[in-house]
Structure 1
Amino acid sequence: MIGLANGGTDTINAIKTAGEFGIVAGGQKLVGLVLFISDIHALGLKAANGLMLTTAYCRDLNDKTRVFAERFARRSNGKVPSMSQVGTYSATLANLRAVEKVGSAKGAAAVVAAMRDACTFDDPLFGKTTVRVDGRVVHDMYLVEVKKSEQSKKPFDYYKVASTIPAGRAFRPLADGNCSLAQ
């Protein structure tokens, strides 16, 4: 496995170059550490085939994620949201719900307290979601593999889920004893 610890255009160019040099055809697996569905779209399925990456959002995971992706695509020239866009939507929605619960946007401390009171909730896009004491929001992540062209049935149908990474493994606190930076 070759981990690509870069992002954006650098990652896209590295993947294209790996294809040109026959690295993937020779049996190596590429793993992108920072990739979005828009990057896969820019590459095309032929170039990205077999690429592995982690994501917080899979558009075809369930009915809720499909409906959201379709609604988003209708409003954005057919493009589906990246996990960052979905995360921003989710965070904004959680904030607005907390403001509604408090009854006012004034008093940030009360809004934050209301968000933390929710503690664990069913996020429509990320599923079971927890707000930790340190403020970190955690949910399952997904290890996905990019499909072959013939496996894709519609635009942006790029991922097949290889495994689910439980929230507790995907989002570890720095002080869990496994990080030298926390000592």
Structure 2
Amino acid sequence: MRRAFLIMALLAAGLPAAAQTPPATRREAIRIGIMSDLSGSFADVAGPGSVVAAQLAAQDFGGRAAGLPVQIISGDHQNKADTGSAIARRWFDTDGVDAIVDLPNSAVALAVGEVARNANRVALVTAAVSSRLSGDLCSPNTIHYSLDTWSMSNVPSRALVQQGGNSWFYVTADYAFGHDLEKQSGEAVTRAGGRVLGSVRHPLGTTDFSSVLLQAQASRASVVALSNSQADFINSMKQASEFGLSRRGQRVVGLAVYISDIVSLGLEATQDAVVVGNWYWDLNEGSRSFGRRFAERMGGRMPTDLQANVYAAVTHYLKAVEALGQSTDGRAVVARMKATPTDDTVFGRGEIRADGRRISPVYVFQVKKPAESSGRYDVYRLTREVPVEDSYRPVAQGGCPLVPRGG
């Protein structure tokens, strides 16, 4: 009886503790957050179109992964790293978001990537271009889909030197992004046998490029490289056309150009410009099919390569989730994504390296003349598919600590 009493007492003592144990959290959905610039300078190249691309990817996957519905939510980081970090923490800590996708603006992408690392969730960078994302600041929780500053500077620089553009002058936005583009392009020009004659820097948001372009003109460089983007690129390219640089024999090239920039400027101002990208809507039947479906939801606007990156990233992420089950382990999901070749109807086959760099074909395009175009978004003529080994920084040179010694 004494022994039975002790057992009953122990059981009774354990009941309150058992009653206080919270039940296991039941997952209701796979939640993917599209964090973008929804109303600012990156809204055309990413923004609302990135949300549509993610929705199309989820729809094509069947709307479910690992037995759970896929939900797409969105947020505006307003091009502020602290705002992006705050949204990411809220999404991960209280809203049950499993992965954050898009992230135009490299400062925001790097900040959100660190939040994802600490929370052990996933960051899929499909819009920011800092090469540090797969370099010294790489993360086991991050994959970089968009072309980076290494590819955007090295590929067109080598191509143009090979075509006879032996002397270069840079018009550079005076912040880290512009400096990085100029530095890496200049090094590529020198390695290819060309010469850098000089450069001039301008503040972010400049509207009058007169003095800058006069210096470029006076340099007599065969290539004037615009190391800027978005509104700065549009304004400098438009004014370069008005100054007649091309008519005087100088070739103007943008190092960070998207189809929305060309459409905004028009073919008259951009004809014959060289553009490097990893995707174009009129490349093949798969890209054309995606482009048409996207345009139906976006009032006729064709997708940029950054928006196509979102489709590919969400598709590959859902494949990894499906394979692993209802895991919230971000590192495990990213490891599975790296171990599985990428394959979708929009990009075709590719791979993800140990440093998180997605590898897919890179193309050199030339902007069509107005008479060659059959419509508003018929702007590029493919001139070359660049060998993969020339398209991306060698994995051993990036300084990513995830890469085994020997690369």
Q: Specify if TM > 0.5.
A: yes
Q: Which contiguous aligned blocks of 4+ residues in structure 1 show a shift greater than 4 angstroms?
A: none
Amino acid at match of 2:307: Q
Q: 1:80 aligns with which of 302, 322, 334?
A: 302
Q: Is the 8 A contact 1:138 1:168 kept in 2?
A: no
Question: Secondary structure in 1 aligned to 2:319?
Answer: helix
Listed as ranges, the gaps of 5+ residues in structure 2 are 1-222, 399-407
Question: Secondary structure in 2 aligned to 1:153?
Answer: coil
Q: 1:56 aligns with which of 255, 260, 278?
A: 278
Alpha-carbon distance, 1:144 to partner: 0.7
Cα separation, 1, equivalents of 2:246 and 2:277:
21
Q: Is the 8 A contact 2:308 2:346 kept in 1?
A: yes
Name the counterpart of 1:16. Answer: 238
Cα separation, 1, equivalents of 2:395 and 2:324:
31
Q: CA, structure 1 residues 19+4, in 2 after alignment: closer, same or farther (shift >3 Å)?
A: same
| Superposed CA RMSD | 1.6
Tell me the number of residue pairs that the alignment of Structure 1 and Structure 2 aligns: 176
Deviations 1:46-102 (A, max 9, x none): 111111110111111100000001111000011111111111221111111111111
What percentage of residue pairs aligned between the two structures are identical? 38
Q: TM-score, normalised by structure 1?
A: 0.90
Name the counterpart of 1:151. Answer: 372
Cα separation, 1, equivalents of 2:306 and 2:242:
30
Q: CA, structure 1 residues 121+91, in 2 after alignment: closer, same or farther (shift >3 Å)?
A: closer
Question: Secondary structure in 1 aligned to 2:248?
Answer: coil
Q: Which has the higher contact order (CA 8 A, sep 6+)?
A: 1
Cα separation, 2, equivalents of 1:105 and 1:3:
46
Alpha-carbon distance, 1:114 to partner: 1.7
Listed as ranges, the gaps of 5+ residues in structure 1 are 178-183
Cα separation, 2, equivalents of 1:152 and 1:103:
47
- The alignment status of 1:173 with 2:394, answered yes or no, reads yes
Q: CA, structure 1 residues 167+123, in 2 after alignment: closer, same or farther (shift >3 Å)?
A: farther
Larger radius of gyration: 2
More displaced, 123-132 or 70-79?
A: 123-132
Q: CA, structure 1 residues 136+73, in 2 after alignment: closer, same or farther (shift >3 Å)?
A: same
Alpha-carbon distance, 1:115 to partner: 0.8
Alpha-carbon distance, 1:125 to partner: 2.1
Q: Is the 8 A contact 2:274 2:365 kept in 1?
A: yes
Q: Is the 8 A contact 1:145 1:162 kept in 2?
A: yes
Name the counterpart of 2:144. Answer: none
Q: Is the 8 A contact 2:315 2:344 kept in 1?
A: no
Deviations 1:92-135 (A, max 9, x none): 111111111112242223212221221x3333222331111222
Name the counterpart of 2:347. Answer: 126
Deviations 1:121-179 (A, max 9, x none): 333222331111222111111111110111111230100011111222111236349xx
Q: Is the 8 A contact 1:139 1:166 kept in 2?
A: no
